[in-house]
Amino acid sequence: MQEKLMSKKKPAFPVNERLHRYLAKYNRNTKIPVFYEDLLRFSGSIVVYDQHDQDTLWVRCYYADHERKDIDTSLKKVYTILHSDGSEDSLEFLNVDAIDYCTFGNSKPFRVKIRNVLNDSVTYFYVKKADASRIYGLEFEHILSPHRINFLVYRDTLIEEHIAGIPGDVFIEEELPGCDDRAMTQIAKQFVKFNERCTIRLLGDMRSYNYVIIPTHDFDHVEYQIRAIDFDQQCYEGKLKVYRPQFFKENFKMVKLVADRLQESSIEQYRKEERSMIAKRIINSQTRYKELIRCIINDEISSLDNVKQLRKELHEFSGDMKFKRSRNMGQILRTALEFVKRNYEDVSMKRILQESR
């Protein structure tokens, strides 16, 4: 029987004034014409099934006629703010095809399907209840990962862009068995990097349905990337294993793929590559990174018990005494990131000194 890793339910944490100011400075905090609570006023719904007639845990919402027009107009305006300059010139060419509500998980998001009637292209975005830890997760993803991410916050409502890709659980079951040797090796490499990235930045709960696999065709082969899509568990849980995707049973086939395809020396090489890239991103975004770190250090996004447990496990894992002195999750995260940055700078300095001789 697998050890229980996750708490039953993570509470939502309010967005404080300091974080709101940070978001406003970097154009994340923008007035929008619709709130999460507005979408909760649906008058009916039906279950959404996938192509295999399985319940997706989403329901399609329907609204009273006297509300639907205002809701549709507001959602189309949100789309233009998120993806364009916010002008209303293109509203007549947009249509809200569907508003779906997820009954599973902590955030209970709405998924909005927008269609451009001129070319029939479709775009999704999500409307969620604003949660400080999720917002930190999104912003650290933007700064520290290879991927940029677009989102907006207004009061207690969060708007997130859709991240395209094949859900990890679907890919593992339906796509992975048909991959050739080269592809499997490349996927194993990317999982090692993804695992390292999540651990260093303390992004938890990366079970297979919380990330996507993104295939990209490049000349005569396909490249793969793994990208997180759920940022609810940023710096909350006390167990270090929660921040290491390799320990979730849903990722067992990916872990086995790594063991079968990669030698220990290769695994360590890819882990080192990922740590170096994170350190470079920290250095290259110093001003924004430091402002965000100051925000999270002055915030409370977890319980004291979780803080005590995680700092103890990270001290045992790394040997860095600074973890033992951390008083909250923000300080723990700063210590983890500075540990990676410091090691990178030490190695870089040694190389520079050797080359100068």
- How do residues 263-284 score in pLDDT, each as one tens digit? 999 999 999 999 999 999 999 9
Return the pLDDT at 349. 60
Indicate whether 103 pLDDT > 90. no
Determine the average pLDDT of the residues in 226-243.
96
Determine the average pLDDT of the residues in 229-247.
96
Indicate whether 1 pLDDT > 50. no
- Identify which of 316, 131, 321, 312 has the alpha carbon closest to the alpha carbon of residue 233: 131
Indicate whether 125 pLDDT > 60. yes
- Name the burial class of residue 275, with classes exposed (0-12), middle (13-18) and buried (19+) by CB atoms within 10 angstroms of its CB: buried
- Long-range contacts of residues 49-57, Cβ cutoff 8 Å, at least 24 apart: 57/102, 57/103, 57/104
Structure-block tokens of residue 146: 């290879």
Return the pLDDT at 353. 57
Determine what percent of the chain is predicted with pLDDT higher than 90: 84
Residues 6+ apart with CB under 8 A from 231: 134, 136, 137, 138, 141, 203
Structure-block tokens of residue 61: 């919402």
- Identify which of 149, 130, 150 has the alpha carbon closest to the alpha carbon of residue 80: 150
Return the pLDDT at 357. 58
Indicate whether 237 pLDDT > 70. yes
Q: What is the identity of the amino acid at 324?
A: K
What is the average pLDDT score of the chain?
Answer: 93
